[in-house]
Structure 1
Amino acid sequence: MKRTYSPWVVLSALLTGSALGLMDSTITNVAVPSLIHDLGARVDQILWVGNGYLLGYAALVVTAGRLGDLFGQKRMFMIGVSLFVLSSIACAFAQSAEMFVASRVVQGCSAALFGPQSMAIITHIFPPERRGTAFGVWGSVAGISVAAGPTLGGLTVAAFGWRWVFLINVFIGAIAMVYAAVVVPNVNFGRRPRLDIAGSVLLSLGLFLLVYGLLEGESHHWGPLWGPVTAPMVIVAGVCALVALVALERGRQDREPLLPFSVLRNRNFVLTLGATCGLALAVSSMLFLTLLNLQMSIGMAVAVAGITVATAPAVSVLVSPFSGRLTDKYGGKYVLFVGMLVLAAGLVLLASAEQIGSTWYDMLPGLLTVGIGMGVTFSPPVAMAMGSVPKSMTGVASGCFNMARLAGSLIGSASVGALLQARLAPALTRAATNHANALPPDLRDRFIAGFATASTGDLQTQHLTTEPATQTLANLVLHEGLADAIRWTYTLPVAVLVIGAIAVLGTHSRTKPTDPTPQPTADDTPAASAVSAVAQAAVPASAHDPASTFASPPSPAPAKST
């Protein structure tokens, strides 16, 4: 008889693999200067160091989630980590920028294969009354991994060179594969899997085109990407592919559909996805606007600005486990509602600190509040979304959840950038007009005209005016106009959070999914109720609260090594 492992041991194995993908999403940024020097990469190629990874991830994440439902989450997790290790080796030994970018795309695809499986497996092995705590721990490790990426990457590049940034993945990936092979259960649903090939192609193609258009649109000013093809045309083509997918899947709902409509008709799931998208939009907007303010307005060095902004995720790491416990005890609805409002309040504090003469410590109250909001809002949406769908569909649900988070980040970057640019032009012109009276009359019109197109060009003051006598005043105008534009741009993520918080009130705090499919079975399992006993034994007795139990279908079999 094979050994039974505590769900918390299984969680630690999943976290090892998850940390691999999360850390790699930020660790490569510090290697960019070395890549330019060693591989002769152009600026447009360097942009695809991150974009290539993102595009590969987006194209496969929902399909990969469904593959986990059909062929087993453990199997897809192991395949994904294996491919991630191989693509990391390819990145490390890349001899050209083109080879490196191609390897990064494969890395993104492999991360999409194992990323959604973690959430699905957590949903299987933890009883409902302990999932919030489990997802809270997952959130803390995720925050640590993302925050540690740039620091670990900087130390590695300085000591061993940029190629070792990717060779580290080989060691971590090997540990993750061995650990997962031993302790992660192989949960299945006793069905013969059938993959929807046409649906998979349409979904991946639609997401690829949609994300590609969003990534490339701003850098091409939403104009031609190649020949007569523009970014909006690519986005529309992606939407058309997704519409065709919906039409195809409508006739396949009784034949292992790639996209089960029963999941998308679940009010809790859909509203939680919307809240997740709004949260990702808010966090990405905060990072962009705050870093811009610290560097452009306050004049802080890039590294110091990054450490300052890291205050928020550092605080969220401490708060996230407590949020998970509150979600277990009271349900996620009101915890998420309060967390979104706290996050909105933090953004308001950051916006109010956007003033001429403000310093980094003026930003700290807002950053601390944002960190608390981030920590509070991590666990509830995951627990609510995954707890409201049948366990036979947790893979595709996890893929949709990850796609919603990615979509929020992309939409946030594009919309906040566009709004900032729209606000910056009148703000600079207004500030220049207000200060022009301090100049001789013959310089005033030229001074104001120098800022007329600044929002779409270079913001260096030496390019805004060629008059040496006006440089000091030009710096003042630039900082004042930028602070005003950033302050007003914060209204977008604040409004999204408030609307999202109101929408969350339409969810049910406790959910009971209906699963018409056979209950999951694991290889060589004893009684199906054993997983609950294992999970209860893994938690201190003081943590048990009978009143906090979710209504749920029977638990799957216990976690076993395979």
Structure 2
Amino acid sequence: MAESPPAAALRTGTAAGRGTLLAAILASGMVFLDSTVVNVALPHLGADLGATVAGLQWTVNGYLLMLAAFVLLGGALGDRFGRRRVFLIGVVWFSAASVLCGLAQSVEWLIAARFLQGAGGALLTPGSLAVLQASFHPDDRGRAIGTWSGLSGVSTALGPFLGGWLIDVLSWRWIFFINLPLAVPVVLAALRWVPESRDEDAARTGRRRFDILGALLGALGLAGVTYALIDAPQRGAASPVVLTAVLVGVVAAVFFVLVERRRGTGAMLPPVLFHSRLFSVLNVFTVLVYAALGGFSFFLAVYLQNVVGYSALLAGLATVPMTVLLLVGSPRAGALSARIGPRLPLTVGPVVAAAGLVLLHRVSPGASYWFDVLPGVALFGIGLTLVVAPLTASVLAAVADRFAGVASGFNNAASRAGSLLAVAALPLLVGLTGEGYAQPAALTTAYRGAMYWCAGLLVAGALLAALGVRKGPFLYQKR
């Protein structure tokens, strides 16, 4: 077997470059796929396992919580102990947890397995992007990241279609088993072609401590707020349990900030990253945009099946235009952003996506796909296409290369946290509780309100980009 080329030397036209890109795309694709594929299955697994709305929320949020809380630690582990090594561990872990999800016999079992699956995803997700950032020659890095962004984004949109087909033909359980045949080529390609890389400063100084306390405080903060939002409809907002959960979440978040500031460069999230104003702005922008995407994905698939009358496959097919737009448009959006700067795409994209959601709120029983569903889905897809690649490239350009793992990890955490909080909060905001997802009247009211809330989040993101991102093509100075 030929020796892998040294880090930061791979070219996209070589076998090693293509193999490394394949491994990164397939691995991140598994994680992104499972971020959306479950939404199509919610009505089916809810009926099969006797789940309430809260059970469905935790099925989605158990996975998102672990991703959001521990993807930071996953990025730091890769930077310090080797990005390829941690990446491979994450792939194997994620695949094993997927099998447990597919074998679930109760909603509690499924939620627990989803927590484990999210932990595996937290190891491999930042690794897939950090491997590209650290392995490819600077001249080819932008092209590699653009390809990764486009094809990984496609897997996010492809999830509902693939999941719908598997659910109708086989069972909802196969949306998890499908990860196994994807994991095999990832492992083989990574072992054959992906070069090992790490933060050499950490290796040279012997700094091997891990910020476990920071990771746990971050997880506790998100878990407390999420639990309160999901449990409030059943117990009441003034319930001692709900108030305690909020208090625990807020206190944990405050201590997380204090611990990270005290640890400085040894922190899981080094405060030096936020010396870059761009990095801070882009991550707030990420929370807003992905909150809208998370809420849209959670409600649309259930609504199309339980109100409009679509099968799981048809509900998945409804979002195929997003897949096509992301596949064709993301590399072009990345190239455009490189020429003119990210400000315009990050401002226009969310506004276009918001217009799509406003159109989608009108969908009702018996609606025509071509005249009622497609225009909104297409607009949402165009807006998302304008955002994904420029956002990813801008986040990595805002920090020094040696922070590639932790920077990508934090940006992934921001995106998952946005989706997590949206899925937890939106049912409460629109009054969807108990088994309301199975009642057409209740679900219709909730769905329409959710589309407006998601559109508002996108508009807020557009305003932030317009005011907080500078004009013109530029690279931000490394800190």
The match for 2:410 is 400
Aligned: 1:201 with 2:213: yes
The match for 1:369 is 379
Is contact 1:65-1:399 (8 Å) kept? yes
Fraction of identical pairs, as percent: 30
Is contact 1:139-1:317 (8 Å) kept? no
Aligned: 1:182 with 2:192: yes
The match for 2:116 is 106
1:131-165 superposed Cα distances (whole Å, 9 cap, x missing partner): 44333322332233233334434444555555554
Which secondary structure state, in structure 2, belongs to the residue aligned with residue 253 of structure 1? helix
Q: Quick one: distance in 1 between partners of 2:120 and 2:268?
A: 19
Which secondary structure state, in structure 1, belongs to the residue aligned with residue 233 of structure 2? coil
Which secondary structure state, in structure 2, belongs to the residue aligned with residue 510 of structure 1? coil
Letter in 2 for 1:49: T
Q: Quick one: distance in 1 between partners of 2:132 and 2:451?
A: 40
Letter in 2 for 1:2: E
Q: Quick one: distance in 1 between partners of 2:439 and 2:399?
A: 55
Aligned: 1:320 with 2:330: yes
Change over 3 Å in CA distance of 1:222–1:461 after alignment to 2: closer
The match for 1:144 is 154
TM-score (norm 2): 0.82
Correspondent of 1:391 among 378, 401, 407: 401
Q: Max radius of gyration: which structure?
A: 1
The match for 1:52 is 62
Count of residue pairs brought into register by the alignment: 464
Q: Quick one: distance in 1 between partners of 2:313 and 2:27?
A: 28
Aligned: 1:2 with 2:13: no
Is contact 2:57-2:424 (8 Å) kept? no
RMSD value, Cα: 3.8
Q: Quick one: distance in 1 between partners of 2:197 and 2:308?
A: 53
Which secondary structure state, in structure 2, belongs to the residue aligned with residue 229 of structure 1? helix
Q: Quick one: distance in 2 between partners of 1:490 and 1:420?
A: 12
Q: Which runs of 5+ in 1 are unaligned?
A: 422-453, 465-477, 516-562
Mean CA deviation greater in 29-38 or 364-373: 29-38
Correspondent of 2:254 among 218, 230, 243: 243
Mean CA deviation greater in 388-397 or 100-109: 100-109
1:386: how far off?
Answer: 0.7
Letter in 2 for 1:376: L
Change over 3 Å in CA distance of 1:218–1:105 after alignment to 2: closer
Change over 3 Å in CA distance of 1:235–1:202 after alignment to 2: farther
1:329: how far off?
Answer: 3.0
Which secondary structure state, in structure 1, belongs to the residue aligned with residue 267 of structure 2? coil
The match for 2:95 is 85
Is contact 1:203-1:241 (8 Å) kept? no
Letter in 2 for 1:245: F
Q: Quick one: distance in 1 between partners of 2:95 and 2:440?
A: 47
The match for 1:135 is 145
1:444-468 superposed Cα distances (whole Å, 9 cap, x missing partner): xxxxxxxxxx99996999999xxxx
1:516-552 superposed Cα distances (whole Å, 9 cap, x missing partner): xxxxxxxxxxxxxxxxxxxxxxxxxxxxxxxxxxxxx
Correspondent of 1:213 among 216, 225, 235: 225
The match for 2:127 is 117
Aligned: 1:496 with 2:460: yes
1:2: how far off?
Answer: 2.4
Mean CA deviation greater in 103-112 or 497-506: 497-506
Change over 3 Å in CA distance of 1:34–1:279 after alignment to 2: closer
The match for 1:259 is 269
Q: Quick one: distance in 1 between partners of 2:329 and 2:457?
A: 22
Letter in 2 for 1:378: V
Letter in 2 for 1:266: S
Q: Quick one: distance in 1 between partners of 2:335 and 2:22?
A: 18
Q: Which runs of 5+ in 2 are unaligned?
A: none
Q: Quick one: distance in 2 between partners of 1:291 and 1:100?
A: 20
Which secondary structure state, in structure 1, belongs to the residue aligned with residue 195 of structure 2? coil
Correspondent of 2:293 among 283, 290, 310: 283
Which secondary structure state, in structure 2, belongs to the residue aligned with residue 180 of structure 1? helix
1:402: how far off?
Answer: 0.7
Q: Quick one: distance in 2 between partners of 1:98 and 1:219?
A: 15
1:171-219 superposed Cα distances (whole Å, 9 cap, x missing partner): 321221121111111113333353445x422432332442453256235
